[in-house]
């Protein structure tokens, strides 16, 4: 058995990598990179070969530790950046999509923003003027105050409120090139638009039910029913639009960045459940009520046409009037659905995970199209209902006559007339003892002069019996 002797120099030389490793560890703890060793190639001595192998292993470990240390620093830097990004209120989760305080990029050109401002401004102006005209008609003429007319007034009130509160923030945002308001204003904008929109569609469904009762069941509703229906409509709308204020979903900025609405694209189960129930209760159910009511009305109208010859003249006139009114309400509902259905479709696309397919242009056109329903409803009233049309013409003629009268009574230029001196009229009865009276009058008055024959003699005492006197009444007219 052979004995291999290891020289002592190899032991002292083998201790060098250990010192190098400990110094490298100390330097890495202080944050400096490990030193790079450049040793000479080892000798073919077995001890040197073992030393070289240990040195390679230690160098490999140092490189791995250096890479881990560098990766650890990168990880901390990335985590710090995420913390700073999260601490910024403009960059919180969901703020890029819904926070109104985020820095909004210009999604459209400057000319497009101006066209959008012109469009939404025109919608607000015409909607306000037209609906105020309808309210003036119903307040001026008593023959328009019917239960169905009361429901029309409710629609006009909600449309006026949309024109005042639901358009102005979007109009200013179009002028500024993006949303410039805070989160509270965004919440109010989404709440007000949703509230008044639900009031309108629920009132239209109530009108469809009122026509259904009159035409199909030949029953008449009273004012009590109309007031109760209006109260229930507002409470129903407040319940659904107030739920996001209490934490069931929320109002966020829309894709186009010019208005706010519900958070349709939220993946939270709580928010998604509200979106489904909201679409069901505030769009699908009212539309179903309208379709059912007007389907039965059209069926009944066809039945009445077949037996019209057997009816009396008065009944035929009543039926024709009811059909015209039903046609007017049907046109109103059809236009309303045409305007609001695209917005509902876009909202459902966002709710069912197709938000990437919705562009800003695809989002802004249905939104403005839905707002335009506030402007054309009064035009349908005036053009389709003969009673409202007559009242409108009467109001217009009265205003024109007042304007014409004021123009005629106002002189175009002052006319210079010669001023005649006013002469006093001296009235006497022929006697010298009769006191004289002077009367003056203006050119536009009628003066009645009363002359008496009483003689006032200060030397004589007054008698107990009153003297009889003559009263002469003279009527004087201006020349």
Q: Return the percentage of the chain with pLDDT > 70, whole number.
A: 60
Residues carrying CATH 1.20.1070.10, the chain: 105-405
Structure tokens of 128?
């306000």
Domain 105-405 in CATH 1.20.1070.10:
yes
Amino acid 478: pLDDT: 46
- 94 backbone φψ class: left, alpha, beta (φ>0; ψ -120 to 50): left
| 447 in Cβ contact with 476 (< 8 Å) | yes
pLDDT of 346 > 80? The answer is: yes
Dump pLDDT digits (tens) for 203-256: 999 999 998 998 888 888 899 999 999 999 999 999 999 999 998 999 999 988
- How far is 162 from 179, CA to CA, in rounded Å? 18
| 363 in Cβ contact with 256 (< 8 Å) | yes
Q: Which pLDDT band, with edges at 50, 70 and 90, does 413 fall under?
A: low
Amino acid 62: pLDDT: 57
pLDDT of 403 > 60? The answer is: yes
Structure tokens of 134?
């309808």
Q: Which pLDDT band, with edges at 50, 70 and 90, does 336 fall under?
A: confident
**Count helices and strands in the chain by DSSP H and E runs:** 14, 6
> Which CA distances in Å does 92 have to 82, 95, 99, 101, 185?
11, 5, 8, 10, 19
pLDDT of 259 > 60? The answer is: yes
Dump pLDDT digits (tens) for 111-120: 899 999 999 9
Task: Give the count of beta carbons closer than 10 Å to the beta carbon of residue 77.
Answer: 10
Dump pLDDT digits (tens) for 45-71: 444 444 544 555 565 555 555 445 444
Amino acid 61: pLDDT: 55
SS3 101: coil
| 424 in Cβ contact with 438 (< 8 Å) | yes
Amino acid 15: pLDDT: 43
Structure tokens of 266?
């939220």
Task: Give the count of beta carbons closer than 10 Å to the beta carbon of residue 442.
Answer: 8
In this structure, the dihedral spanned by the alpha carbons of residues 417, 422, 427 and 430, taken in order and rounded to 10 degrees, is -90
What does the buried/exposed string (b/e) look like for 311-321 if buried means 16 or more CB atoms within 10 Å of the residue's CB?
A: eeeeeeeebee
Dump pLDDT digits (tens) for 65-105: 544 544 444 444 444 444 334 433 334 433 334 444 444 56
The lowest-confidence range among 4-8, 307-311, 416-420 is: 4-8
Dump pLDDT digits (tens) for 372-402: 888 888 888 778 788 888 888 888 888 888 7
Closest by CA to 208, choosing from 200, 441, 172, is 200
Amino acid 156: pLDDT: 93
The tally of CA atoms less than 13 A away on the side-chain side of residue 251 is: 24
Closest by CA to 121, choosing from 368, 319, 340, is 368
Q: Return the percentage of the chain with pLDDT > 90, whole number.
A: 30
Dump pLDDT digits (tens) for 120-164: 999 999 999 999 999 999 999 988 999 999 999 999 999 999 998
Amino acid 185: pLDDT: 93
> Which CA distances in Å does 199 have to 54, 165, 196, 230, 249?
83, 15, 5, 9, 20
Amino acid 351: pLDDT: 86
SS3 104: coil
Structure tokens of 391?
């009242």
Dump pLDDT digits (tens) for 287-326: 999 999 988 888 887 777 666 555 666 666 777 777 777 7
| 363 in Cβ contact with 349 (< 8 Å) | no
Structure tokens of 458?
């200060």
Backbone φ and ψ for 251, nearest 5 degrees, come out as: -100, 125
Amino acid 55: pLDDT: 53
Structure tokens of 136?
């003036």
When the pLDDT of each residue in the chain is averaged and rounded to a whole number, the result is 73
């Amino acid at each position: 058995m052979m004995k291999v002797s290891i020289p002592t120099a190899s032991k002292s030389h083998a201790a060098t990598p250990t010192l190098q490793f400990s110094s490298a560890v100390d330097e890495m703890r202080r944050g400096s990179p490990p030193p790079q060793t450049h040793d000479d190639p080892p000798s073919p001595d077995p001890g040197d070969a073992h030393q070289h192998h240990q040195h390679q292993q230690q160098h490999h470990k140092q490189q791995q530790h250096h890479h881990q240390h560098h990766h650890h620093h990168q990880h901390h830097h990335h985590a710090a950046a995420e913390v700073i990004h999260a601490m910024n209120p403009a960059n919180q989760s969901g703020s890029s999509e819904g926070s109104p305080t985020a820095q909004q990029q210009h999604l459209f050109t400057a000319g497009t923003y101006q066209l959008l401002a012109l469009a939404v401004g025109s919608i607000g102006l015409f909607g306000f003027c037209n609906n105020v005209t309808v309210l003036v008609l119903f307040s001026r003429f008593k023959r328009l105050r019917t239960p169905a007319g009361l429901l029309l007034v409710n629609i006009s009130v909600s449309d006026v409120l949309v024109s005042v509160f639901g358009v102005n923030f979007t109009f200013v945002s179009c002028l500024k090139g993006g949303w410039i308001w805070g989160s509270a204003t965004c919440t109010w904008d989404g709440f007000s638009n949703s509230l008044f929109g639900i009031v309108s569609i629920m009132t239209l469904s109530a009108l469809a039910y009122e026509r259904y009762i009159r035409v199909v069941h030949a029953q008449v509703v009273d004012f009590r029913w109309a007031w109760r229906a209006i109260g229930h409509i507002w409470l129903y709308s407040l319940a659904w639009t107030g739920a996001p204020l209490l934490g069931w979903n929320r109002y966020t900025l829309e894709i186009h960045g010019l208005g706010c609405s519900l958070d349709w694209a939220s993946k939270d189960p709580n928010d998604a459940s509200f979106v489904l129930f909201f679409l069901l209760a505030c769009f699908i159910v009212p539309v179903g009520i309208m379709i059912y009511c007007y389907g039965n009305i059209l069926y009944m109208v066809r039945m009445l046409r077949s037996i019209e010859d057997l009816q009396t003249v008065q009944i035929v006139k009543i039926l024709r009037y009811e059909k015209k009114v039903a046609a007017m309400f049907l046109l109103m509902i059809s236009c309303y659905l045409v305007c609001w259905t695209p917005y509902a479709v876009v909202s459902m696309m966002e709710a069912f995970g197709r938000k990437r397919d919705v562009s800003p242009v695809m989002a802004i056109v249905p939104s403005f199209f839905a707002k335009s329903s506030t402007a054309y409803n009064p035009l349908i009233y005036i053009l389709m209902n003969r009673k409202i049309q007559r009242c409108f013409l009467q109001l217009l003629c009265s205003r024109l006559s007042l304007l014409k009268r004021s123009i005629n009574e106002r002189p175009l230029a002052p006319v210079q007339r010669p001023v005649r001196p006013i002469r006093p009229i001296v009235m006497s009865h022929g006697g010298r003892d009769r006191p004289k009276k002077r009367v003056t009058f203006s050119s536009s008055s009628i003066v009645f002069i009363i002359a008496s024959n009483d003689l006032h003699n200060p030397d004589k005492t007054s008698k107990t019996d009153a003297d009889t006197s003559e009263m002469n009444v003279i009527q004087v007219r201006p020349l």
